[in-house]
């Protein structure tokens, strides 16, 4: 069953939002791998994507206010657009914090969390695409949930290692904040997945 039978412009805008997230997540991973010298370039690129994401969110909200018959409950449109915007904002904020802190060496857990965010973003792209047709949406939502669980595990272990091995208090505070921001990005991906699941259930 098609979840979005009316006004597919909303679907197109959601698809563009998730693609922005995937593009930003890919840049985040590349930035973490490249290290401090190139962070500024990646921050600028992600900031441009974040501005594009803000415009897409604005378009969705404007269209929502102007559309009488929406393809799903208006509150779900609002929630999904907001959740997707939050994911992109968190990726932008995490990358900005990496540049601000100027850590000379990033622990492997930072790269692992960035890769999990990137994988989650790809699953969001697929979930929104599947939402239009109802084909295997659940598979992508399960994957996002599993990735969030993995991010929780990585974050817990990274924090344990941090408190065991890092003696410099400032470095500890910086890394703790970065870990938690990256893990929060996966939480926000799961929030978006939960909205998609709710939409699918309502329209099945």
| Residue 1: inside a domain | no
For 192, the token pair is: 């978006």
Name the pLDDT band for 193 (thresholds 50, 70, 90): very high
Above pLDDT 90, what percent of the chain?
75
* Residue 180 resides in a domain: yes
Question: How far from the centroid of its chain's Cα atoms is residue 59's Cα?
Answer: 19
**pLDDT beyond 50 at 5:** no
User: What range does the domain containing 188 cover?
Assistant: 9-202
Q: What is the mean pLDDT of residues 89-95?
A: 97
Residue 79 in domain: yes
Position 7 scores a pLDDT of: 53
Q: Is residue 127 part of a domain?
A: yes
Q: Any idea what the Cα angle at residue 24 is, between residues 33 and 185, rounded to 5°?
A: 90
Q: For the segment 136-169, what is each residue's pLDDT rounded down to a tens digit?
A: 899 999 999 999 999 999 999 999 999 999 999 9
- Whether the CB-CB separation of 148 and 120 falls below 8 Å is answered with yes
Check pLDDT > 60 for residue 127. yes
Structure confidence at residue 108 (pLDDT)? 95
Q: Rounded CA gap, 32 and 54, in Å?
A: 24
Residue 3, in any domain of the structure: no
Distance CA 134, CA 156 (A): 35
Interatomic CA distance for residues 178 and 108, integer angstroms: 13
The yes-or-no verdict on residue 1 having pLDDT over 70 is no
Q: How many domains does the chain have?
A: 1
Compute the average pLDDT of residues 57-65.
92
Least confident stretch, 13-27, 30-44, 142-156: 30-44
Within a domain: residue 4? no
Distance CA 21, CA 14 (A): 11
CATH number of the CATH domain containing 181: 1.20.58.220
Q: Is residue 103 part of a domain?
A: yes
Report pLDDT for 4.
Answer: 43
Q: CA angle at residue 96 from 91 to 100, to 5 degrees? A: 150
In a domain, 191, yes or no: yes
Q: Which two tokens stand for residue 204?
A: 């099945």
Higher-confidence position of 48 and 70: 48
């Amino acid at each position: 069953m098609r979840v979005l039978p009316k006004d597919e412009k909303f679907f197109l805008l959601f698809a563009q939002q998730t693609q922005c997230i995937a593009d930003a997540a890919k840049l985040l991973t590349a930035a973490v791998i490249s290290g401090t010298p190139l962070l500024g370039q990646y921050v600028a690129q992600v900031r441009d994507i974040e501005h594009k994401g803000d415009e897409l969110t604005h378009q969705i909200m404007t269209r929502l206010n102007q559309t009488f018959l929406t393809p799903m409950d208006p509150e779900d449109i609002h929630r999904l657009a907001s959740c997707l915007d939050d994911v992109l904002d968190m990726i932008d904020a995490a990358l900005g914090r990496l540049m601000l802190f100027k850590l000379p060496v990033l622990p492997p857990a930072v790269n692992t969390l960035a890769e999990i965010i990137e994988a989650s973003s790809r699953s969001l792209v697929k979930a929104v695409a599947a939402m239009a047709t109802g084909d295997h949406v659940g598979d992508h939502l399960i994957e996002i949930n599993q990735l969030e669980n993995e991010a929780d595990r990585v974050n817990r272990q990274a924090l344990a290692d941090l408190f065991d091995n890092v003696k410099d208090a400032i470095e500890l505070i910086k890394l703790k904040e970065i870990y938690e921001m990256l893990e929060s990005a996966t939480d926000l991906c799961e929030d978006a997945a939960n909205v998609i699941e709710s939409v699918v259930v309502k329209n099945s």
